[in-house]
């Protein structure tokens, strides 16, 4: 399993990652927590896809091919693929959705289902997905947040 210090310290992210597994075999509700799917406010994700040896270029092409159709979806505000030099076998991603319904719609798209079905041949381990909720004001920060 891929580990990340911030991910390991966040129980909700850890639970999401544990459920994520081989995504092609899971329902949307098993990938994304119900409270995020029902969110009426923006929701973001960042994470990593760790490629099997010899498949990084193919995985990168597949992930990049999701960009244009994803960015064309009305509920997706940001959909970007990144390179992280500190993790050469991984491809980083960042996604920002208008709300939880937009996440559900995105994951149900045929091109996303096809990607998840192919992912078992390209990914060395589970996708590492860390959910984020944008902060628009200090009052919006939950009282259970550290600091």
Show the tokens assigned to 49. 């896809």
Res. 78: pLDDT tops 80: yes
Segments forming the whole domain that contains residue 57: 5-135
Classify residue 140: in a domain, yes or no: no
Which residues have CB under 8 Å from 75's CB, separation 6+?
A: 97, 98, 99, 101, 102, 103, 105, 106
Classify residue 111: in a domain, yes or no: yes
Which residues have CB under 8 Å from 20's CB, separation 6+?
A: 26, 31, 126, 127, 129
pLDDT confidence bin for 2, thresholds 50/70/90: very low
Res. 27: pLDDT tops 70: no
pTM, full prediction: 0.73
Res. 88: pLDDT tops 80: yes
Q: What is the domain-level CATH number for residue 115?
A: 3.30.70.100
Total tally of structural domains belonging to the chain = 1
- For the chain, the average pLDDT equals 78
Classify residue 144: in a domain, yes or no: no
Q: In this predicted structure, what is the pLDDT of residue 25? A: 47
For 41-71, how does the pLDDT look when each residue is reduced to its tens digit (9 = 90+)? 999 989 899 999 999 999 999 999 999 999 9
Res. 5: pLDDT tops 60: no
Classify residue 146: in a domain, yes or no: no
């Amino acid at each position: 399993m891929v580990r990340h210090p911030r991910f390991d310290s966040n129980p909700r992210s850890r639970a999401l990652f544990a459920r994520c597994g081989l995504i092609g075999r899971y329902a949307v509700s098993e990938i994304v927590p119900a409270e995020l799917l029902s969110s009426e406010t923006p929701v973001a994700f960042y994470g990593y896809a760790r490629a099997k040896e010899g498949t990084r270029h193919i995985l990168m092409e597949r992930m990049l091919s999701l960009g244009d159709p994803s960015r064309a979806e009305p509920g997706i505000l940001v959909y970007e693929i990144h390179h992280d030099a500190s993790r050469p076998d991984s491809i980083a991603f960042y996604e920002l959705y208008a709300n939880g319904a937009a996440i559900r719609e995105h994951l149900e798209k045929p091109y996303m289902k096809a990607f998840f079905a192919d992912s078992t041949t390209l990914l060395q381990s589970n996708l590492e997905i860390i959910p984020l909720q944008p902060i628009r004001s200090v009052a919006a920060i939950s009282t259970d947040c550290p600091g």
